[in-house]
Structure 1
Amino acid sequence: MKERYYLAREDILPEAILKTLHVKELLAGGQAKTVNEAVAIAGISRSAFYKYKDGIHQVNQLDRERLVTLSLLLEHRAGVLFKVLGLIAESGGNVLTINQSIPLQGTANVVLSVETSRLHDELSGLTAALESVAGVSRVVVIGQG
């Protein structure tokens, strides 16, 4: 069954949903260190929190959670990775993780996790721009989420 989503005004949401959001805000903001502490502050049971936590998100939070994993084959030359990272930043992407293999036969595989909610262009535009960087042999999107 396909998931369906709705946008609803805060004032019509049930109290348990609002308290679940409050617990998530307490944890994200560091006002509570554990779920036990946060649910006590918010006045909701742990079971209610766990029931709703994965099904309710603030709209702006969903926008920030668009991730893509890129695999790039780079020539082993000074500055190539620097240019790639700079291009991603200039495009509005935010690099979250970098994993690079040891260069073999003059090339290295680099896997990047990039948060893409603020890209100035479509992902295909970013990958095309990355492919045009001198020293980049290949760019493949290996995951989106």
Structure 2
Amino acid sequence: MGKTPNYFIVEASALPEVFLKVAEAKRLLETGEVDTVNLAARRVGISRSAFYKYKDAVQPFNDMLHGRIVTFQILLKDEPGGLSSVLRIFAQSGGNILTINQTIPVNGCAAVTIGAETSGLQTSLEELLEQVQSQQAVLRCEILAG
């Protein structure tokens, strides 16, 4: 039996440069800009052995959540059309909403939990969060699980 992996979310600027280069090499391969690991590693300035050492451990946050069910928690002002504006953003972005749970408003606010499948997103997860957060009725939007 293998050891259960531990994961951390770390701001990219705090990572050692080799991790960023591995992520870029993976992107080059996935987009077809290069067709071999050797070319990808050479283009970003790392060895093939460094690429293979870290390729399974380095994954951009958005890629980790792509194709998965992600749970969003949103705090909404209790005003007409608030939830509707949030749902419209999900629909326009290509997110497939699976569940919606809204609490009864207390002190003018309601908590909404949305479970969505993200494989059809046409924007990044970060852009989706920004668009939801920018709605007048939204006080807070965050990812609970993914």
- In the superposition, the TM-score normalised over structure 1's length comes to 0.55
Residues 4-43 of structure 1: pairs in structure 2 closer than 5 A: none
Shift of 1:121: 1.4
CA distance in 2, matches of 1:79, 1:101: 16
Residue 110 (1) aligns with residue 112 (2)? yes
Equivalenced residue count is 85
Contact kept in structure 1, 2:71 and 2:143, CA below 8 Å: yes
CA distance in 1, matches of 2:105, 2:84: 16
CA distance in 1, matches of 2:91, 2:78: 21
CA distance in 2, matches of 1:65, 1:90: 17
CA distance in 1, matches of 2:128, 2:119: 13
Tell me, which stretches of 5 or more residues in structure 1 are unaligned? 4-62
Tell me, which stretches of 5 or more residues in structure 2 are unaligned? 6-64
The residue type equivalent to 2:98 in the other structure is L
Residue 125 (1) aligns with residue 127 (2)? yes
What percent identity do the matched residue pairs reach? 39
CA distance in 2, matches of 1:123, 1:89: 14
Task: Report SS of the residue matched to 1:86.
Answer: helix
Q: Return structure 1 stretches of 4+ with deviation > 4 angstroms.
A: none
CA distance in 2, matches of 1:65, 1:120: 12
Greater Cα radius of gyration, structure 1 or 2: 1
Shift of 1:142: 0.3
Residues 11-90 of structure 1: pairs in structure 2 closer than 5 A: 65-90=67-92
1:2-48 Cα offsets, whole Å, 9 max, x none, are 79xxxxxxxxxxxxxxxxxxxxxxxxxxxxxxxxxxxxxxxxxxxxx
